[in-house]
Amino acid sequence: DAKTTQPNSMESNEEEPVHLPCNHSTISGTDYIHWYRQLPSQGPEYVIHGLTSNVNNRMASLAIAEDRKSSTLILHRATLRDAAVYYCIRRNAGGTSYGKLTFGQGTILTVHP
């Protein structure tokens, strides 16, 4: 797993959408984009992942650029519980990585009431 670039911090208001960007300009064809988040005093939790197409689940949406050099995690209506550190991670789907992940510094999301 190799590096991604994220802003150090972002702020949002409650019930507004949040777009968290991630740059991965050297991504290879077999790398997936994974997002995790870490709430205060908890371990990281999986949010979503994708390869080329946009993905949706109950927690968030993931929009991946056509050239795959960047992606955006979208929280459609931020709540106070979404305040966390969000990590964008490149993950190679091949080889024998055994699932290990390399975490960067992530983006600290602050949500204002």
Partner 1 sequence: DVKVTQSSRYLVKRTGEKVFLECVQDMDHENMFWYRQDPGLGLRLIYFSYDVKMKEKGDIPEGYSVSREKKERFSLILESASTNQTSMYLCASTTRAGNNSPLHFGNGTRLTVT
Q: How far apart are CA 20 and CA 2, in angstroms?
A: 19
Q: How far apart are CA 60 and CA 39, in angstroms?
A: 15
Residue 58 found at the interface with partner 1 (CB under 8 A): no
Q: Which of 29, 58, 66, 98 is in the footprint of partner 1 by CB under 8 A?
A: 98
Q: How far apart are CA 32 and CA 49, in angstroms?
A: 7
Among residues 13 and 30, whose Cβ is nearest to partner 1? 30
Binding segment toward partner 1, per CB under 8 A, in 2-10, 14-22, 62-70, 93-101: 93-101
Residue 46 found at the interface with partner 1 (CB under 8 A): yes
Contact call for residues 63 and 110 (beta carbons, < 8 A):
no
Contacting positions for partner 1 (CB under 8 A): 32, 34, 36, 41-46, 49, 91-95, 97-106
